[in-house]
Structure 1
Amino acid sequence: MTPAARLSAAIEVLADIAARRRPVADALKDWGLAHRFAGSGDRAAIASLVYDALRRRASAAWIMGDETPRAVLIGSLRLQRGLAGQTIAGLFTGERFAPDPLTEAERTRLDTATLADAPLHVAGDVPEWVLPSLVRILGEDLLPELKALARRAPLDIRANTLKADRARVQAALAHLDPAPTPHAPHGLRVPVPEDGRGPALHVEPEFLEGLFEIQDEGSQLAALLSGAAPGETVIDLCAGGGGKTLALAAMMKNRGRLVATDGDPRRLAPIHERLRRAGAVAEVRTPRGGRAAPDVLADLAGQADLVLVDAPCTGSGTWRRNPDAKWRLRPGSLATRQADQTSVLDRAARLLKPGGRLVYVTCSLLPEENDAAVAGLLARRPGIAVRPLALDPALATVVRRTDHGVQLTPGRTGTDGFYVASMTSASFADR
């Protein structure tokens, strides 16, 4: 496919997303199935165009004075990819599979429109209703942080120290030119070309051998801040696909007892193969049946040295990677997640032994899901108290400290927007 034909395809996918309000991955998959002539390179390029357009949906529409998929794509080519109006016009020719030529109005908007007078939620490309929450956490850094949240995310990996150290993985992947991550001691950052098409890391021999995992530096740091140590009894309460479970196993050096579970058994499906590949030792407990089914962790009440709660959340801190999610988020979804967080925190507290640690993590920037969730637990359970996090000096200079934890953000730490708070159980009170 020509570059112009890829633009036409991206417009088609964006129109499908807008019409059916569906996740971008589903729309891209269906487009690929309906256009089997498109090679893997074409599909990757189209996906990159679509994701860039969604990252800048509001500001691109403002620039173009129109919210149509075509207008959003054109605006994103200027804002996200830095293309000049003349260059964009050279792609919109109407020839063969190219999009229709730019109108005079479109050319004028490309040449003259700016974001100087755009409202904050437009300039920052976020839903207007979440802006007050973001102001509370980001303060004067609001617009720079939102702009960072609208850029592409880096491609990070974590050396699996059960099998190899960072230097060995870096040498093995020298052809990809990885560099150490700024803060995570086992992380490497792999350069991604301007077109956004990163290397296929999952087919690298070192990945298949379990020498590294694909994991954002923020997620790596969140696991490290848990302080999991060899010999402890550790429970990963919201393990999902197992990314942090694998990191915990490496921190524990496969010594002690590591238990992984999740409220949604479907999310646990990938964990078994990932544990095998990484050489990680963990006990996976998959819940069965409905709400009346027995608690798979009932026998561990009051026994855990550490419970990691990587809580279900809105995912607002990962909007660089999942830009369509921010436009589908509604206030009702936030309320649902807050209820989930209350439930899982109460469950985690019951699992702690005296002096045990509860580390609460979200990939959210919204205070309602972070400090407010912790404050709620502290109010409900007097036997729980906040425990200061031990931060590396370099990291301590860039994270945002909140009332009860720390907030990582794309602008300050270059990571996804992770929140981490640590608590300890003083006694068996109020179990």
Structure 2
Amino acid sequence: MPKAPDTVTLELPAHVRWLPAAQAVVEHGAPTLGLPPKKVMRLVMAVEEIFVHLARTTPGCAVLLRLLRRGSSVQAVFRFQADVEDLWAMNLTAAQELTPTDENMDHMGLLLAAGVSDGFSITREGGTVQLVLSQDKVYPETTPSDRGLTAARGALRMVDDPHPAEVAEACALARGLYPAEKLHPDLSMAGKLVDNAAGGGIVLSVAKDDAGAILGMMFWEQTSERSVGFCGPYVFSQNSGPVAKALTENMLNCLARSRTIGVCSRRATDDLPLEGFEALARIHYCHKNIVCAEQRIWFRLLREDDGAVIWAHAGMVDFLEETYARLSLMRDIRTVENIGIEMPARSVFAAELNQELSEAHLRVLIPGLDVEENIRKHAAHLRSSGYENIFFTLDLALGEQACLGGALMANGFEPALVLPFAGKSDLVVFQHVASRS
């Protein structure tokens, strides 16, 4: 008999008398899915606020609530029919606009739900809205190892399903040997990396010698159906070349059996063997008390590109044409500045923040008429909060996103790199130019 998924589903009307049922599902289900008590209460609070908001703004509408485990997090997923007009209060900058008045109570609840969540996302499919609230599980920090590099004994072998203790050792070695800007954030919490691998979010392999010593590690994740982003190779051997090559070739061999067309580095180390890779971009990174430096992003095409039609604001076209010519990718670029569809008055952005690396990644969840002002507010808020590396990603398959390139460039952003195949089509990443000062 097939194993049931770790998911609880509840369908109920948006009315406050049903709030205890939604609360109970999260209170009792989230601990079963591995969330600790304090995190459970934060998820309960966020679910309460969203449910009460729906009961006030769309009373009686059908709400589908799912609770599930996804790798290292537990998620509460809402699906409902509603206007997205009021969801702007989930923006990172909404607190600057809201005061605790009666007319703002609905918005205050959304602000609180976003604030207590470790992550959230909003998507629309026709008239149906899907809102996802996430809470990350808690993991102990992995202490960097001071062991240094190891002399290999015997032949190399790849292990594609390493034991958690081996992953923990590899994470500790990577933290001890590589600078912070080369490290994926999950390397600081080996248990999180293990859970994400077990949940299928990433694929992880280690290199070992005949004596069982761990000589290296590399991992990657499917960023879309046709694209993979990788980190590493992290090498712990005195003879780094053969280990780095073996880890990279192992990844490419695994992907050869998939539908992946292109691979792109997310945190590539200097050990990456460059044969077959193209330099995708040079990104300027600044860190606290450290001079700004360049980090190179690498790309490799695994099979023939059939070409694609993409959308772009006119101000992005020269950058895109140069990039695609350099990568020998066929793209039919259609310019768009205003697609003329009716949009909400207020836009909503998602923000992924990494304080240690002074890094913020923004993306649009709901385009709105205020998008240019919202971009300006987010950039100013992040800069004043100490974030020096601010990025904004658009999907060029979507005209309503591609046309935002003009608003980004009007507010201090410049196109920095293209990630082929990484979204519905290619993604273009903008960087706030103030990050280079």
**Smaller-chain TM-score bracket:** under 0.3
Structure 2 length normalisation: TM-score? 0.27
Structure with greater strand share of residues: 2
TM-score by length of 1: 0.27
